[in-house]
A = this chain, B = another copy of it.
Amino acid sequence: MLNFEYQNPTKMIFGRGTHRKAGAQVKPCGRKVLLHYGGESIKRTGVYDQVTASLKEAGVEFVELGGVKPNPRLSLVHQGIELSRKEEIDFILAVGGGSAIDSAKAIAMGVPYQGEVWDFYTGKARCKEAVPLGTILTIPAAGSESSPDTVITNEETTRKYAASSPLLRPVFSILNPELCLTLPHAQIGYGVCDIMAHIMERYFTQTTRTDLIDRLSEATLRTVILNGRKLARESQDYDTWAEVMYASSIAHNGLLGTGRAQDWSSHVIEHELSAHYDIPHGAGLAIVFPAWIKHVYQARPEIFIQFAVRVWDVDLSFREPEEIIFEGVRRLEAFYKEMGLPTRLREVGIGADRLEEMAGKAVAGGPIGGLKKLAQEDVLAILKLALE
């Protein structure tokens, strides 16, 4: 185990009816609030009315900025910063999934910063101050509700980059699984895939002697797989959503990354796909992850054997380690398919023509990955493995 520091002060408010009490949570946090959200879905489902009613009841003054899209855009962040400064916002309440929350985090960093907010994503600047924020989660997937991270797409340059700061951990996050009951069916697979990726990118490590976090990760993966499968068949069960929604936070709140090196190259590679082709992040991950394993497993076969045996119950002869590893990958792919996800680029209409360009951009800042360092030719090999 490696030395580590870990602190996660986000207050989790979990369960039925909790979003109707948002006002009471927001009230002590700020004088004037920016309510930040996505499209029409929260208006259609009544969540918007319930949350704004709760804010009004608590006497919270707020202004609104909707319009966050999947793969949230820098241009809307700029609007949010300008609006927040003009209105002297001192708290942001994001209502939505990872996109709304990540966009809110970008605005939170941008408001007190004199320069261009994109600097935080390119590594030019580090966040030293941010407007505090809270969240009401409507889509379990990104884990942004209890993470210090944000991912934003710069439409002008087709770059999709991440930034991170302890100041971006929400003050509180309200998780009500009832809000998941109205999600479109496709979102189940995308969400489950993103949650699993957040765990696996911490799980596949070169760090040795990591019993506890290995087992906690396997426990979370098995929970997501079991309940994801249930949701694919029957999406109206509160308790099944509760497991997936809670797991989404545990997967990405940092706990499962403590004491170990991590490998986020699959996310980096996927960000190129969704930045260039605007495909759902969860779909891109289902395509990239199996190919990534096939390319890198030799760098530490044991951990992929453990994954196959403990997560997928593979029970083959340990005398043929590769057979176990590939059976694990096969079950991972079969599960993705069961969840309605693509596992090859061709399935989402991506051909070979821009693979080299994306591979180049993925390693623009140098080799990526922790389990195995990936240069441009590695990323290209992974994308080719993912082709068909």
Interface residues of A (CB under 8 A from B): 1-18, 208-209, 211-212, 215-216, 218-220, 222-223, 226-227, 239, 242-243, 246-247, 250, 258-259
Contact = CB atoms under 8 A, between A and B. Distances in A.
Contacts of A208: 239
Contacts of A16: 3
A243 B12 contact: no
Given A5-B12, A12-B258, A208-B239, 14 more contacts: A1-B242, A1-B243, A1-B246, A2-B15, A3-B15, A6-B12, A7-B11, A15-B259, A209-B239, A211-B227, A211-B243, A212-B247, A215-B219, A216-B250
A223 B15 CA distance: 30
Contact of A209 (B1, B242, B259): B242
8 contacts: A3-B16, A6-B12, A7-B10, A12-B258, A211-B226, A211-B243, A212-B247, A212-B250
A209 B243 CA distance: 8
Contact of A13 (B5, B14, B216): B5
A248 to B, nearest CB: 10
Q: Which 10 A-B residue pairs are closest in the complex by CB-CB distance?
A: A3-B15, A215-B219, A9-B9, A209-B239, A7-B11, A219-B219, A212-B223, A1-B242, A6-B12, A211-B243
Contacts of A219: 212, 215-216, 218-219
Contacts of A12: 4-7, 258
A296 to B, nearest CB: 25
A3 B238 CA distance: 12
Given A1-B243, A246-B1, A215 B209 contact: no
A216 B220 CA distance: 7
Contacts of A222: 215
Contacts of A220: 212, 215-216
A251 B242 CA distance: 22
Contacts of A227: 211
B5 A14 contact: yes
A5 B242 CA distance: 14
Nearest to A219: B215
Nearest to A215: B219
Contacts of A211: 223, 226-227, 243
Nearest to A227: B211
A8 B250 CA distance: 13
A6 to B, nearest CB: 5
Contact of A246 (B5, B11, B259): B259
Contacts of A239: 1, 208-209
A218 B222 CA distance: 12
Contact of A3 (B9, B14, B223, B243): B14
Nearest to A240: B209
B212 A14 contact: no
A219 B18 CA distance: 29
Given A215-B219, A223-B212, A250-B212, A4 B15 contact: yes
Nearest to A310: B219
